[in-house]
Amino acid sequence: MTALEDQARAWIADDPDPQTRAELEQVLADVRSGDADAVADLEDRFSGLLQFGTAGLRGALGAGPARMNRVVVLRAAAGLTAYLQEERGAPDVTVVIGYDARHNSDVFARDTAAVVVAAGGHAMVLPHPLPTPVLAFAIRDLGADAGVMVTASHNPPQDNGYKVYLGDGSQIVSPVDEQIADAITAVPDAASVPQAQDGWQTLDDGIVADYLDSVSRVVAPGGPRALRIVHTALHGVGSQVARDALARVGFHDVYSVAEQESPDPEFPTVAFPNPEEPGAIDLALDLAREVDADLVIANDPDADRCAVAVADSDGWRMLRGDEVGALLGDHLLRRDWPVDAVMANSIVSSRLLAAMCAAHGVRHEQTLTGFKWISRVPGLVYGYEEALGYCVDPTQVRDKDGVSAALLMAEYAASLASRGATLLDALDDFAATYGHHLTDSFSVRVQDLALIGDVMARLRATPPSSVGGQRVASVEDLARGDGGLPPTEGLRYLLDDDTRVIVRPSGTEPKLKVYLEAIDADRASGERRLAAIRAEMERLTAPA
């Protein structure tokens, strides 16, 4: 333990933050007292440097190299700046920096600006906590070389993250992530990183107004606007921007969930600040029933995702991400597009959009999971992934944007309502035309990441010959690049009845994710098949 304690002492000496220094001092004191939990905690904190990848950095706040803290951020900022300067061949790189309202987001943003300026670059910091899509917009609008968003999106309260975009407004992909990671590794410690005391530019709310001007143009002027909307920001930073955007395009009958309207890094009313999680939008549904709303819209804490709930015969229900993706696709397919226009979605999303595009004569592409891939499709006019991410205006925001998606959903719902129809009627029309595309998914959460590797290895060593009573017609190992896409960890099964199963590790959380899709002319039949296949896959993916 002496070597580990020496590492901790060296970390404390390098750490500029008195709070994390004191935190680590307490862990060391508990270790010396013989506390076994403290020993395990110390080992975990020093299990390696928090890895920089295509999602940037994301992890629990705290002291140590395997946590999110000022030491890690200072080294990351220095490495990113060095990479940009080498690529440009000049020191005067420009970086736009945004941040949400999580614990220490403002501190990490300020540290990043201080490092960029000290290295000879120009840093522009957004004026206050704002949604991620505002940062993604600002990069392109201001002509920056890169952007940093300090956010952990919909992760739990104890986490924070560091998301990096390049100058075209796209998230980084390989090999850039490895090159930036190498540049970070080359920074020996935080003490060696120069920091300016001032000199960065703090932008004013003009950048927010420019974003709102841009996002408002996704909606056609003069259409129906008779719609009562309930909106929740889930304690994140999207409330004011989303409401301002809705008002700009004519939606004024909007109610906010008061308990979740203001940013709060503790997310006190939800067990998990993700609109996909059970119970997360219960307060919004309660308010919708109270005010007799037509539509519920929920953004995740950094407002890059958009969830939608509608009233049905049993009350209110949240639409699946694929349902929203198809509705937005249908709405956009009704517009005139150039011959080279492309719509895209990720491999784990429904195949319905592809069928819709074929019927409308619009090219469709399938990509790997994540908007770092979707946003790079040439000619893209619309892209989505089933995890509530929608890119409806890639010329302005080359990433998922929960605000612009909310505007388009409100426009489509109001247009249908003016004809006496609903979003559910539109989904019924899709089923009648293309068959019921029934999707489901589940996650296997683990404490030990090695268990995910064990499950994947087991599935490769002994692949199932049938699932839920259906023969496995083909197996694609996505890690080998099967299916014509760049290699990524995952397996894709196609069953005899055209049901599709995909198994892949999450890129941002310690869990294995399983995605299912069945296509059937009869909904009840498809649901029975999907339930049987899900039960079998839950058994096959359970850690040993």
In tens, the pLDDT along 251-284 reads 999 999 999 999 999 999 999 999 999 999 999 9
- The whole-model pTM stands at 0.95
Domain count, the chain: 4
Are both 298 and 190 inside the same structural domain? Answer: no
**Coil, strand, or helix at residue 155?**
coil
**Coil, strand, or helix at residue 101?**
coil
Are both 367 and 258 inside the same structural domain? Answer: yes
**What phi and psi values does residue 270 have, to the nearest 5 degrees?**
-130, 145
Q: What is the pLDDT along the chain (544 residues), one digit of tens a residue?
A: 588 999 999 999 999 999 999 999 999 999 999 999 999 999 999 999 998 887 799 999 999 999 999 999 999 999 999 999 999 999 999 999 999 999 999 999 999 999 999 999 999 999 999 999 999 999 999 999 999 999 999 999 999 999 999 998 889 988 999 999 999 999 999 999 999 999 999 999 999 999 999 999 999 999 999 999 999 999 999 999 999 999 999 999 999 999 999 999 999 999 999 999 999 999 999 999 999 999 999 999 999 999 999 999 889 999 999 999 999 999 999 999 999 999 999 999 999 999 999 999 999 999 999 999 999 999 999 999 999 999 999 999 999 999 999 999 999 999 999 999 999 999 999 999 999 999 999 999 998 888 999 999 999 999 999 999 999 999 999 999 988 889 999 999 999 999 999 999 987 778 999 999 999 999 999 999 999 999 999 999 999 8
Q: Is 153 a catalytic residue?
A: yes
Whole-number Cα distances in Å, 316 to 89, 281, 319, 423, 446: 56, 11, 10, 13, 32
Final residue of a domain: which of 152, 178, 204? 204
Are both 297 and 163 inside the same structural domain? Answer: no
Are both 362 and 468 inside the same structural domain? Answer: no
Cα atoms in the 13 Å half-sphere on the side-chain side of 72 = 27
Long-range Cβ pairs for the range 486-489 (8 Å, 24+): 486/368, 488/368, 488/369, 489/456
Say if residues 214 and 137 touch (Cβ distance below 8 Å). yes
Say if residues 149 and 135 touch (Cβ distance below 8 Å). yes
Are both 520 and 408 inside the same structural domain? Answer: no
Question: Can you say whether the dihedral through the CA atoms of 216, 219, 225, 231 is positive or negative?
Answer: negative
Q: What is the DSSP code (8-state) at residue 171?
A: B
Q: What is the DSSP code (8-state) at residue 53?
A: B
Look up the CATH number of the domain holding residue 137: 3.40.120.10
Q: Distance between CA atoms of 405 and 219, rounded to whole angstroms?
A: 10
**What phi and psi values does residue 307 have, to the nearest 5 degrees?**
-110, 150
Which pLDDT belongs to residue 1?
Answer: 58
> Cα–chain-centroid distance for residue 386?
11
Look up the CATH number of the domain holding residue 516: 3.30.310.50
Which pLDDT belongs to residue 448?
Answer: 87
Question: CB under 8 Å to 362, separation ≥6 — which residues?
Answer: 333, 337, 341, 342, 343
Q: Distance between CA atoms of 104 and 347, rounded to whole angstroms?
A: 35
Are both 383 and 242 inside the same structural domain? Answer: yes
Final residue of a domain: which of 181, 204, 227? 204
Are both 345 and 401 inside the same structural domain? Answer: yes
Are both 439 and 428 inside the same structural domain? Answer: no
Are both 308 and 383 inside the same structural domain? Answer: yes
**Coil, strand, or helix at residue 303?**
coil
Are both 27 and 60 inside the same structural domain? Answer: no
- State which residues form the domain around 164: 53-204
Q: Distance between CA atoms of 312 and 395, rounded to whole angstroms?
A: 35
Are both 423 and 443 inside the same structural domain? Answer: no
Query: Closest by alpha carbon to 171, among 189, 193, 190, 153?
Result: 153
Are both 330 and 382 inside the same structural domain? Answer: yes
Final residue of a domain: which of 178, 204, 230? 204
Q: How many Å is the Cα radius of gyration of the chain? A: 24
Q: Is 258 exposed, middle or buried (0-12, 13-18, 19+ CB in 10 A)?
A: exposed
Among 153, 216, 346, 415, the active-site one is: 153
> Cα–chain-centroid distance for residue 131?
12
